[in-house]
Homo-oligomer: A and B are copies of this chain.
Amino acid sequence: MMRRPIIGVVGTGSVSPGADAAAEAVGREIARHDAILVCGGLGGVMTAAARGAREAGGTTIGILPGADIHDANPYIDFPIATGMGQARNAIVVQTAQVIIAIAGGYGTLSEIAMALKIGKKVIALQPQFHIPGVLSAQDAVEAVRLALALIESPPSPCLSV
């Protein structure tokens, strides 16, 4: 069986116009390519990306920190109630085949680093930190195109830091 590609979107949980616009566009592109969006299921970039995906007819999974599926933002089709707080970030990066990181602070940085640690590729839009090994993209269209290319033909393993 061929499963649809799963792309993770991580970024700040606070509202931020620039990041939200990028996230919404990323969500839309993910849906247009019939990929699945996985994110943390709450606010800020997570809401914007899920809204973009849903408005383009896509599918959204939210890996929630709390134990109640009703915490999910309204654009999440499939809420997962982990009850594991910050540790749920590990589930987002393990479930996604590639990560797109949009702006974000320390929480996003920890997800980026965890993804790189387990060998997942990370594509950054509006990066806040310079982390060797993170790929950059000009905009949402390029980020999602790159993400799908990496899922279809994974590069050979790189040396880890």
A→B interface (CB under 8 Å): 1, 3, 6, 36, 59, 61, 63, 67-69, 74, 77-87, 89-91, 94-95, 97, 105-107, 109-114, 116-118, 128-131, 133, 160-161
Contacts and interface: CB of A to CB of B under 8 A. Distances in A.
B90 A83 contact: yes
A85 B67 contact: yes
A27 to B, nearest CB: 16
30 contacts: A3-B69, A3-B79, A36-B78, A59-B78, A61-B80, A69-B95, A80-B80, A80-B91, A82-B82, A83-B84, A83-B85, A83-B87, A84-B90, A84-B91, A85-B85, A86-B94, A86-B114, A86-B118, A90-B90, A106-B113, A106-B116, A106-B133, A109-B109, A109-B131, A110-B110, A110-B111, A110-B113, A110-B114, A113-B113, A129-B131
